[in-house]
Structure formats: structure tokens, C-alpha cells
Amino acid sequence: MTAVLPVDQPLTLDTTPADAAGRRRGRRARVLGYGALVLACVYTLMPFLWAFLTSIKKPIDAFAPDPVWIFTPTLHAYAVLWEERGFYFYLWNTLWVAAITTVVSLVVAALAGYGLARYSGVSSVTLLVGALVFRALPRMALALPYYYVARLTGLYDTQVLLVIVFVAVNQPFTIWLMRNFFAAVPDELDQAAMVDGCSRLRAFFSVLLPVVRPGLVTAGVFTFLLAYQEYLLAVVLTQSRAVTLPVFIAQFSTENVQDWPVIAAGSVSLALPVIALMFFAQRYLVEGLTAGAVKS
């Protein structure tokens, strides 16, 4: 015979004081962890929030000796930035250069990363180490040679020059990143595709690229950010026609040091495309960084 508990009698588990103390310690640890995360977020976002508040203030409030927290918001600084300072022209230059740089870098990095991952040998290691050394060189060591070549070829102050230079500078990082993603994919996957009748190139495009899609998005986001935020090479290789946003904001801040709301509006406007990109790509970015681009 088996004993049956009455329906109205709840099933309870015996707990010891040690279990209760352990749960309390766990709750305290979670509270402390969440509190630390909130403080870190506030610390990280405070400069951006301060710039945003400054951008919607009147000049008299922005220049007040003490911080002004209660004020009438205004978008005058954004109107001056976009209508009088030609912000859209520099934004278009920057977005166009960064987008083309990303596309070209991904095409080259995907093919090169696959080749280096599948054909490992002395030559592959030599190419990877050479790319790493080139990537580690200071920007100033590259700026003057690029400037000299740009003057000789007539490409100075053009978007084409910026695309070529940004691809060359960022390509080692992109190749290393894509090589690691392809190396994490088992060789049996492309071998199975080739057994089914695919050529190696067809297997690469039809089978492997969908698998490493999170890795492509991750590499694309980092490449876009590196090209979008590049300042030193852009300021050396441009003058007026191909000036990008970092160069424009730096020059504008130097020439109009007392126009704080407009400078802050430029900084906020510079960050908005990056925020939008991270918002739409966050799922693939997190998956690519954590899962190694391998799907089961």
C-alpha cells in the first residue's frame, strides 16, 4: 500500500537555516551585481547625456557657471548645424566611405579568411603574422606615405582614396576575425557539400556563408565603426571635398569654441548612426561574439 496525501494538504519541503541564509546571500549578490551594472551604465552614458542636454540648451544656459538643470529645450543648435553648417554633406561623405569600405573589406576578408582557415601551412601563418604586424603599425607611420602617394596619383581629397586607405588599414583585422570564424566551422561541412556535387566555391557561397552570417555581421560592424570614426588618416588625406564627420567636428570645435550647443549637437548627430546600427545588428553581433559563428 502506498500512502496518498490529501488533496488539500500542500507538499512542503523541509528547509534548514543554512539554505535560507544561502538564498539571502544569493539575493544580496544579485542586487549588488545589478547595482554595479546600473552604475557602470550611468557612468558610460553620462558624457553622451550631458552632450545631449547641452545641445538642446540656449547659449546662455550652456555657458552658465553652474549647471542648469531646469531650462526650456530648443532645437536651434540642430537647425544651425544642419542648415547653416552643411552637416548633411559631411554625414553623406562619412556614411558613403564607411559603407563602401565595409562591403569591400567583407568580400576580401571572407574569401581570404576561408582560404587561410582551410589551407593552413607556413605561407598561411606568414600572411597572418604579416597582416598582424601591419595592423600594429602606428597610424602616423602610414599617414605620410599615403599622403605622398595620394599627391602623386591625383587622388588627394577624394572619397575613393579614403575607401582604398581604410580598406588597407582595416583589412588585417577583418581577415583575422573572419579566419577565426571559418576555422570554428568543421571541415566536414564543406566536404559533405562537395560530396553532394558542389564545387568548393559553390559550397563556400551556399553552405558556409549562411553558417558564418553572425561572424560577417560582427566583422562588418567593427569595420564600419573603424572607418566611420577614423580621424588621423582622414584629416591628413582630405581638405574640403571628402572631409568626414570626425574631421569636420574637430575643425568646427576649434574655430567655434564658444558655440557649445552646436558643437554638442554635432557630437550627438555623429553618434546617432552608430546607435541605429548597433540597435539593428545587436542580435547577430552578440551571437557572433559568443557562439563563434557555429550553429548546431
pLDDT tens-digit readout, 117-132: 888 777 777 888 888 8
Residue type at 156?
A: Y
* CA distance from start to end of the chain: 48
What confidence tens digit (pLDDT) does each residue in 36-51 have? 988 998 888 888 888 8
Q: 290 falls in which pLDDT band (50, 70, 90)? A: low
Q: Is residue 5 part of a domain?
A: no
Same-domain pairing of 115 and 163: yes
Q: 293 falls in which pLDDT band (50, 70, 90)? A: very low
Q: Is residue 247 part of a domain?
A: yes
CA–CA gap between residue 19 and residue 24 (Å, rounded): 9
Same-domain pairing of 227 and 132: yes
pLDDT at 296: 41
CA–CA gap between residue 4 and residue 10 (Å, rounded): 12
Same-domain pairing of 94 and 196: yes
CA–CA gap between residue 129 and residue 126 (Å, rounded): 5
At residue 292, does pLDDT exceed 50? no
The answer to whether the beta carbons of residues 211 and 189 sit under 8 Å apart is yes
Same-domain pairing of 159 and 40: no
Same-domain pairing of 227 and 114: yes
**CATH code of residue 226:** 1.10.3720.10
Answer with the one of 14, 32, 55 that is the final residue of a domain: 55
Q: CA nearest 118: which of 204, 40, 3? A: 204
Q: 15 falls in which pLDDT band (50, 70, 90)? A: low
Q: Is residue 75 part of a domain?
A: no
Q: 291 falls in which pLDDT band (50, 70, 90)? A: low
Sequence-distant (6+) residues with CB within 8 A of 265 are 55, 77, 78, 80, 81
For the entire predicted model, the pTM comes to 0.79
Burial class (CB in 10 A: 0-12, 13-18, 19+), 46: exposed
pLDDT at 16: 67
At residue 142, does pLDDT exceed 90? no
Q: 6 falls in which pLDDT band (50, 70, 90)? A: low
Same-domain pairing of 51 and 90: no
What confidence tens digit (pLDDT) does each residue in 49-107 have? 888 988 888 888 887 777 788 888 888 889 888 888 888 899 999 999 999 999 999 99
Q: Is residue 66 part of a domain?
A: no
What confidence tens digit (pLDDT) does each residue in 158-211 have? 999 999 999 999 888 899 888 888 888 888 888 888 888 888 888 888 888 888
What confidence tens digit (pLDDT) does each residue in 248-289 have? 888 887 776 667 888 888 888 888 888 888 887 777 666 655
pLDDT at 147: 93
CA–CA gap between residue 168 and residue 179 (Å, rounded): 17
Q: Is residue 13 part of a domain?
A: no
Cα 219 to its chain centre, rounded Å, is: 9
Residue with cell 582622414: 234
Answer with the one of 33, 55, 77 that is the final residue of a domain: 55
- Beta-carbon-side half-sphere exposure of residue 148 (alpha carbons within 13 Å): 5
Q: Is residue 182 part of a domain?
A: yes
| Number of domains forming the structure of the chain | 2
Same-domain pairing of 37 and 117: no
Task: Give the domain extent around 49.
Answer: 22-55
At residue 241, does pLDDT exceed 80? yes
Same-domain pairing of 51 and 197: no
Same-domain pairing of 128 and 42: no
